[in-house]
A and B are shown apart, each in its own frame.
Chain A
Amino acid sequence: MDMFTGIEMAAKVGLIVFVMLQVVPMMVWIERRGSALMQNRRGPNRVGPLGLFQSLADVVKFIFKEDMVPEHCDKFYYILAPAVVLLPAFMTFAVVPFGGDITIAGHVVHLQVADLNVGFLYILSIGSLGVYGIIMAGWSSNNKYSLLGSLRSSAQMISYELSMGLSLVGIVMIYSSFELREIVFRQTYPLMASAPGILAHIPKWGFFVQPVGFIIFLSSVYAETNRLPFDLPEGESEIVAGYHLEFGSMRFALFFMAEYLNMVTASALLTTLYFGGYSFPGLHIAAEAFTPLVARASEIASSLMPFVPTLANPDQWARAILEVAVFSAKVGFFMWLFVWVRWTLPRFRYDQLMDLGWKVFLPLSIANIAVTGVLIYLGVI
């Protein structure tokens, strides 16, 4: 590993972790204001303009609260649990591409932390580890409600992992790759190349070729992130607060953060697999128009700060900036969808949840694979 690769990796990891940490308080604010909007309330509006600094105040409160471990808890696992929940939440984003390639100083840089051959299998396997933290939390708390919450959570996650994994098989069959960058690239192909006029420019996004798979995957992701309508592990009206009942101060905040980080990753995955990732039809035309602006900005920057060199390839930078913007906008939409659904749908009952997972989604996802196979054989997709 040479010097450049090391700096590149460190920069990308640092960027992802920084952005993800910034998204959490923003998202908490959006969720609280969004819920208020839907329920005809005001929501937080005292701290800062539009209550924007409310999350900051909350963080300060979490940090300064007394950090205590209840007497009846298993201390080792109690302290370990929030970290075990948080770690996979951070790790899963590593394989998601958030932009195309840029050439910097003669090196091609992928805007993706790790380009793994196993692709989203990595996401599925790391994502399936989050349940351990929840189990640890519930078990170490030595509390009936906590244990019930973590039992519910593990049962739910195992049930929906199956249909989630199977719903992705259709995507693999169509794009014949596990690598997310390759899948994004293949989604830029036209859906119907021979169609007249503007119709020929519709991209071959996963949503258009796998609508059933998309619905199954979307619902399973909601169950995996323990969000409404599948938030039975928390179920505050039944089991108080579920697995994080005995946790206070920053430890509780870590569970909270993990939930939002999982939402970010889930939204990024939905974007990448079903909505063309960072690509968008006509993006290259916009990038051409944007290039002079980037070149000019780069010149101004280097004239103000002599140690900054001017960009050798402003066209690539313009494209990459637009790609990251498109990616962020799509992810933002799915994050909003999480909030939207949460404040629209009521919670499932437990037997309904299990019935839906095993008797509806599992057969449906297997049928989806069969139908996809037949359609590919017939040459329709």
Chain B
Amino acid sequence: MELATGATDIFFYIFSGVGFLFALFGVVLGKNPISCAFSLVLMFFCISADFALLQAHFLAAVQILVYAGAIMVLFVFVIMLLNADTKNLDLGRSKVFQAGAAFLCLGLFAMFVWSIRHGTGSPKDVGLTPEKVLSSGGNLRVISELMFSDYILPFELTSILLLVGIVGSVALAKRKMEHK
């Protein structure tokens, strides 16, 4: 179901704005760790909605499935298990650290804005228009076909990276168990 272009734009800005508000007031400035985590989940939702509005349905679904459905559940799980509260986190001790982080974030943001406005490289045109994607079997089919043909090397390298991560985490967990 296609919305009119104007409506898509309006929704895009609404979701981006709401996501930004959740990120700022919920996650960064929030005091309660559980509330912070739930705000982050809501922000993922807003990002996913933006993806869906940009016709990237697969990214939207995976964004929710992986980030909101799996990774954040683990975050919340750990927060509850450690029963972390504001006292333990002791946010006040590093004002310098906070200021440094804020400075770096703003710097990164400024760099993004600058590179988008003044960058010379144009995105590689591979001829994928929304109509073409739809006629060749939809978003998912096109992504999977590209992933297993043109982009097989980066795909396999990423999976090796993930495998190394898994082996590493198992090794770390095992070492702790052997010490006991």
Contact = CB atoms under 8 A, between A and B. Distances in A.
Nearest to A116: B57
Contacts of A151: 77, 80-81
Given A118-B57, A131-B73, A158-B74, A139 B34 contact: yes
A121 B58 contact: yes
B69 A129 contact: yes
A128 B81 contact: no
A116 B65 CA distance: 15
A155 B34 contact: no
Contacts of B74: 158
Contact of B1 (A5, A77, A119): A5
Interface string A133-147: 001101100000001
B34 A161 contact: no
A356 interface: no
Interface string B47-77: 0000000000110111011001110011011
A147 B58 contact: no
A135 B76 contact: yes
Contacts of A53: none
Contact of A154 (B58, B62, B65, B77): B77
Contacts of A116: 57
A1 B58 contact: no
A313 interface: no
A118 B139 contact: yes
A135 B80 contact: yes
Interface residues of A, number: 30
Contact of B61 (A125, A155, A158, A161): A125
B41 A132 contact: yes
Contacts of A128: 64-65, 68-70, 73
A117 interface: yes
B57 A117 contact: yes
Most buried by B among A5, A117, A121: A117
Most buried by B among A77, A119, A121: A121
Contacts of B138: 117, 179
14 contacts: A116-B57, A117-B139, A121-B62, A125-B62, A125-B68, A128-B64, A128-B69, A131-B69, A132-B73, A132-B76, A150-B80, A154-B73, A155-B77, A161-B70
Interface of A: 1, 5, 77, 116-119, 121-122, 124-126, 128-129, 131-132, 135-136, 138-139, 147, 150-151, 154-155, 157-158, 161, 178-179
Sorted nearest first, the 4 A-B pairs with minimum C-beta distance are A128-B69, A125-B65, A125-B64, A117-B138
